[in-house]
Amino acid sequence: MMRNKPSQSFFSVCNTLKICLAVSVLFNTLPLFGGFYEESGSQGFYFFEDPKEMEKSQKEKPKTPEEAAELMAEQREELYKLRCLAILSPSKENVIRYIEEQNKILSLSENFAKEWQYLLLDLPELGDGLTNPTTASGIEVRKKLEEASKKLILETLSEKYFLLLFANGGEPYSEQAGKIAKQFSSVTDWEIRMVSMNGLSLQDFPDFEKDKGLSQKYGVKNAPTFLIVNPETKEGFHVGVGALSASDLIDNIYKQAKRHLLEEEK
């Protein structure tokens, strides 16, 4: 006995019902997911709900130094707050917000650095490339020029100044300072004088002056201390303390000479 086959219309009705059911399920489910995002606050795409505000703030450029300073202060404060939040509540969203804000500030710094470099190419007089080279060959030339300048200045000052050493006889650091002073003298031909703060001589300076207020006059509180002194004006300049090397003394004298324009004195 043959059974009747289902008609074509029957299958059509079934397919239609299936589609309707699927669509119904889809639309009934969407509010559930919508509620999930709404309830979670900063979950999902709601975290990125203010890109327009960020774009707006990037387009706003200050017109005065005061406005720029205020804007920079606000950015630093915002970055600090986001950093605190990311540290104390290190969720993915909080860390992303901090990184994005930091990258925004870094981008501004990079743009500033690039513009600085471009300006130095167009206006080299704004930089110090001629006097402060960064290449190995340029640095070598600068060192040679500095050494020649030091030698000339020390020769000039030796005619108007002497090296004064405040020391304590028998004390190890003072004894070493005495040896350094002798070495300095042999290299530069400077006159060396020694003042003993404890009334005892140094091995390299059997002849000395006792401290009769000179240390107080020149503000010397510890030994060994080095100064250069103009015997005519009695003016003195500190050039080091402790067991320095002869090259240290030369460098320090050079610095004080440039600082106080001593080589230009008549």
Percent of the chain with pLDDT over 90: 70
pLDDT-derived band of residue 132, with 50, 70 and 90 as boundaries?
confident
Query: Is the same domain home to 229 and 167?
Result: yes
**Is pLDDT of 252 > 90?**
yes
The domain boundary, picked from 130, 154, 175, lies at 130
Question: Is 170 part of any domain?
Answer: yes
Query: Is the same domain home to 154 and 240?
Result: yes
Query: Is the same domain home to 157 and 253?
Result: yes
Query: Is the same domain home to 120 and 153?
Result: no
Structure-model confidence comparison of residues 8 and 76, the more confident one: 76
CA dist., res. 92 & res. 78, Å (int): 18
Range of the domain at 151: 142-264
Give the residue from 149, 200, 152 showing the smallest Cα distance to 174: 200
Question: Is 17 part of any domain?
Answer: no
Q: Mean pLDDT check: name the lowest of 10-19, 81-90, 99-108.
A: 10-19
Percent of the chain with pLDDT over 70: 77
Number of domains in the chain: 2
Q: Mean pLDDT check: name the lowest of 58-67, 115-124, 139-148, 244-253.
A: 58-67
The mean per-residue pLDDT over the stretch 89-97 comes to 97
CA dist., res. 79 & res. 8, Å (int): 68
Query: Is the same domain home to 165 and 256?
Result: yes
Question: Is 61 part of any domain?
Answer: no
**Is pLDDT of 6 > 80?**
no
The domain boundary, picked from 108, 130, 152, lies at 130
Structure-model confidence comparison of residues 195 and 59, the more confident one: 195
Query: Is the same domain home to 146 and 120?
Result: no
Query: Is the same domain home to 118 and 187?
Result: no
User: pLDDT digits over 182-233, tens only?
Assistant: 999 999 999 999 999 999 999 999 999 999 999 999 999 999 999 999 999 9
Question: Is 237 part of any domain?
Answer: yes
Query: Is the same domain home to 221 and 107?
Result: no
Query: Is the same domain home to 151 and 126?
Result: no
Query: Is the same domain home to 146 and 255?
Result: yes
Question: Is 2 part of any domain?
Answer: no
CA dist., res. 211 & res. 198, Å (int): 8
Query: Is the same domain home to 115 and 218?
Result: no
Give the residue from 121, 157, 112, 132 showing the smallest Cα distance to 252: 157
Residue 181: the pLDDT is 97
Query: Is the same domain home to 255 and 188?
Result: yes
Residue whose entry in the numeric block shows the structure tokens 């006995």: 1
β-pair partners for 196: 167, 210
Structure-model confidence comparison of residues 153 and 46, the more confident one: 153
Question: Is 181 part of any domain?
Answer: yes
The angle at the Cα of 222, spanning 235 to 238, to the nearest 5 degrees, equals: 30
Residue 59: the pLDDT is 57
User: pLDDT digits over 145-179, tens only?
Assistant: 999 999 999 999 999 999 999 999 999 999 999 99
Q: State the pairing for strand pair 162-167/192-196.
A: parallel
